[in-house]
Chains A and B, each alone.
Chain A
C-alpha cells in the first residue's frame, strides 16, 4: 500500500494521523477527542510525519517522536481491571446508545462483576426535566469477569461508536485511560475517563429480593 492510500483509508478515524516508521496514532476530532487509535503498519520507508485531515503538517521529527512516546506511555500504567465484553453485549451497548441517544456509558465494578450503564447526561440537568414526559431512561448490563478491583470509568459514546463491534478486551488503567482491543483488530483504542457519574444508585435488596435503583433528583 502506498502512503497516500494509507492516509486516505484512515481519514474517517479522526482528525490527525501521526505516522512513525512502523506505527501510527490517530487522534479523534472534536466530537471524540478523547479517543486515540494505535496501530502498526507495514509501509515501506514511511517518514515520521503528521497529517491533519489528510494534509501534511510541518512539525519537527523530534517533536513528533516525543508525542508518540507520550501516547505510548499512556498504556504504561497499572490497571484496575482487565476483562472481556463479548460481541453480543457490545452490540447491545451500541444499540442502547443509539436508542437513548446516550452521551456516555459508565463501566464500573460490583464485586466480581462489571456493570455497564448507558445514559444521556443531559437528562440529569434539572432544567431539562419537565414532568413525567421526560422520564429518565437508562440501560445497563452486567458482565461476569474474573479479575477486577473497585473502579468506575465513564466513556464518551461517540468514541465507543468508532470502535469495531466484536469481542472487546478492556483494560481500565489507573491513569484514567481505558484501552479497548477488539479481537478482530490488531489496533488498540485508548479512551479517556470523562469523570461523570449518573446520579443513580443500585443495590440488591435481600429483604425484597429485587434489584433496587434510586435516582437523586436535581431539585
Chain B
C-alpha cells in the first residue's frame, strides 16, 4: 500500500459583515433593474397612444437605442396587467427576454404562478420559456417535412479547475434563446 498523503488547507476567515454589506448593495442595485425595465416598458406603452408613436419607435431603432424587436417585447410586457402590478414587481426576473416570455401568459394565470412562487427573480430564460409554452400562447415551432434537421456535435474538454457542468448549463441557456435549436447534453 502506498503512503497516504495528508493535506491541510487553511481557509481565510470570512468577514461576514462585509459579505452581507456587499450582498445588500448588489441586491439593491439588481432590484433597480426590474423597476427600470418596467418603467421603460410603460413609457413605450404610453407613447403607443401618441400620434407620433411610429416616429418615436423608428428613431429609437435607428439610433440603436432599443431595437424594434426589443421594443415589441417591452410593449408586450407593459400590456400584461399582472407584470405591471406593483405588488408582484419584486418577484419578477429582471431580464426583458424572460419577462417577454412571461408576458405571453394571461394575467390571471400569471398571478397564480406568482402567488405559488413558481416565478421568482431567479427564474431563468428557459424556465420562462417553458412556462410560456405550458400556460401561454407560445407554441413550439413546427417543423415541416421539407425542413432538414441539422445536427452538430460539440465536444468540450475542461481543465480540472473549471466547473464544466456549470459552464455547459450556462451555455445551453444562451443557445436555447434561439428558436428551433434544441440541445442535448451527454
Contacts and interface: CB of A to CB of B under 8 A. Distances in A.
Contacts of B48: 79, 82, 171
Interface in A72-105: 75-84, 86-88
A78 B81 CA distance: 22
Contacts of B49: 78-82, 147, 149
Given A82-B79, A183-B76, A146 B137 contact: no
A76 B106 CA distance: 29
Contacts of A145: 79, 81
A76 B52 contact: yes
A81 B106 CA distance: 18
Contacts of A78: 49-51
Contact of B106 (A75, A79, A88): A88
A22 interface: no
A183 B79 contact: no
B129 interface: no
A73 B149 CA distance: 43
A208 to B, nearest CB: 25
Nearest to B46: A147
A166 interface: yes
Nearest to A167: B137
A51 B18 CA distance: 72
Nearest to A175: B51
B122 to A, nearest CB: 26
Contacts of B54: 75-76
Contacts of B50: 78-79
B78 A146 contact: yes
Contacts of B137: 86-88, 166-167, 183
Contacts of B104: 86, 167, 183
Nearest to B82: A144
B182 to A, nearest CB: 20
B120 interface: no
B107 interface: yes
Interface in A55-81: 75-81
A86 to B, nearest CB: 5
A147 B51 contact: no
A82 B45 contact: yes
Contacts of A149: 49
A147 B75 contact: no
A182 to B, nearest CB: 10
A83 B76 contact: no
A110 to B, nearest CB: 15
Contacts of B78: 146
A81 B50 CA distance: 10
Interface in B97-119: 104, 106-108
A86 B72 CA distance: 15
B80 interface: yes
B74 to A, nearest CB: 12
Nearest to B51: A78
B84 interface: yes
B45 A144 contact: no
A205 B9 CA distance: 75
Nearest to A170: B79
B79 A146 contact: yes
B111 to A, nearest CB: 10
Interface of B: 45-46, 48-54, 72, 75-76, 78-81, 84, 104, 106-108, 136-137
